[in-house]
A and B are shown apart, each in its own frame.
Chain A
Amino acid sequence: MEKQTEPSGVYEVFVQRDHLDPMMHVGSLLAPTNELALQLARENFTRREQILQIWVVPRTHIYSAEEDDFHAREMDRSYREVSGYTENGRLWRMFKEKEITLEEIVRYVEQKKQSKHDLHREESHES
């Protein structure tokens, strides 16, 4: 990485708490060099919590959209969202079944040990 030479440049700080988490922006700080920025980031942001990784990025290296309408939603996008399909629950009930959610599938697949009942028919089904 190139050495930052201007006195006290602004650095944006990112931390990763767990291998399954993305890098998260936590704040910024002033520092004269990359190395000092890293030291300061550790002291300022991670005094207590256990973290895996810190990134410090000179603010001048961050490029972001300037126009306000860059993120504008020009039309209704419910067709690509779960919230656009809320009628599924009602429709399944017409067939005496219930809707299924992704979270439910993930929990079901990840569960370490299954009871007899789970394997046959998911637990919540008959409730």
Chain B
Amino acid sequence: MDSQRLEEEFVKRVQSGAKIEASDWMPDGYRHLLIKLIHMHAVSEIMGVYPEKEWVPKAPNLRRKLALMAKVQDEMGHGQLLLRIVEDLAAPYGKGREELLDDLVEGKVKFHNVFHMEARTWADAGLIGWLIDGAAIINQASLLSTSYAPYARILKRICAEESFHMQHGENVILSIAMGTDEQRKMLQDSLDYWWYSLLFFFGPLEITPAAQKMLHYRIRTKTNEELRQKFLAKYVPRIWSLGLTIPDPTLHYDSKLERWHYAEPEWEVFQKIVSENKGPKSQERIALRRIAQDQHKWVRLAMTTGI
């Protein structure tokens, strides 16, 4: 069969709901998109640890400290599970774990915008757990129906562990929301700082050619905007119920258009943060990651050679 026929058959299969395994034949385009998506997901899990681990020594009590450490452990674990999937996909190109991690410190793979931002206060740490994790969960839940079976299976596991993250984040936010005026002010300030980063997290409104291809191959089944709308529907009422003000006076549900109207984030500003690693904390965290990459080389060596 020529490659065009194979590609057509493949697309027909995935579009009718078939799942693809690592050992199945797949078009190069499909493989490239999966590598790009899952590699970014994996390193985002790893970089997502930094804003939270910064709060481990400063957590307000022992239980919060333990919970944060458990989250850090979970997220590093998710990074490992996801990298394993990328390794299988990237094997034909001779790319392994070392190269995939080098890409991160060399700026060749991007990570989510939110992990370039600063966790300035305990409310920021809580908000990360509540809304950033909330947004990530919506994104991951939508990928459970992906056509690539190994990714779907791992996402199932990741989502199950995220359910503790969700409850933990809400619990931190609820206690701050029930606190003093000063604490509530800190929470409001945190929402102001994170709001547009959260909207950006779901990606641009337009369906880019790469996104279109992912939909075509059923790697994704939902658009960025569909997911952003779902996030708004689930979380805006809860944010309001806490008596917080969302820093967008135009935000409302448009019942005629059946969608949430919102002021768009400054796309270029946020895009620059991600594509050039120019966020407030990008360089500092990548530098820490580089130190880990260098100084822990002997650990990886011991773990991979068994000596």
Contacts from A to B (Cβ < 8 Å): 19-22, 77, 79-82, 84-85, 87-88, 91-92, 94-97, 99-103, 105-106, 108-110, 116, 118-122, 125
Contact = CB atoms under 8 A, between A and B. Distances in A.
B233 A118 contact: yes
A105 B131 CA distance: 13
A80 to B, nearest CB: 4
A94 B179 CA distance: 13
A102 B237 contact: no
Interface residues of B, number: 47
Nearest to B172: A85
A92 B162 contact: no
B236 to A, nearest CB: 9
A94 B178 contact: yes
Interface of B: 19, 21, 63, 66-67, 70, 74, 134, 137-138, 141-142, 144-145, 149, 152-153, 156, 159-160, 162-164, 166-168, 170-171, 174-175, 177-178, 222, 227, 229-230, 233-234, 237-238, 241-243, 253, 255, 258-259
A117 B291 CA distance: 50
A95 B152 CA distance: 36
Nearest to B162: A102
10 contacts: A19-B21, A20-B19, A77-B70, A82-B167, A84-B164, A92-B238, A105-B166, A106-B141, A110-B141, A119-B229
Contacts of A82: 163-164, 167
Contacts of B258: 116, 119-120
B241 A122 contact: no
A88 B170 contact: yes
A79 B67 contact: yes
Contacts of B229: 119
Contacts of A92: 170, 174, 238, 241
A15 B145 CA distance: 22
B217 to A, nearest CB: 16
Contacts of A21: 153
A94 B242 CA distance: 9
Contacts of A125: 237
Contact of A100 (B21, B67, B145, B166): B166
A95 B233 contact: no
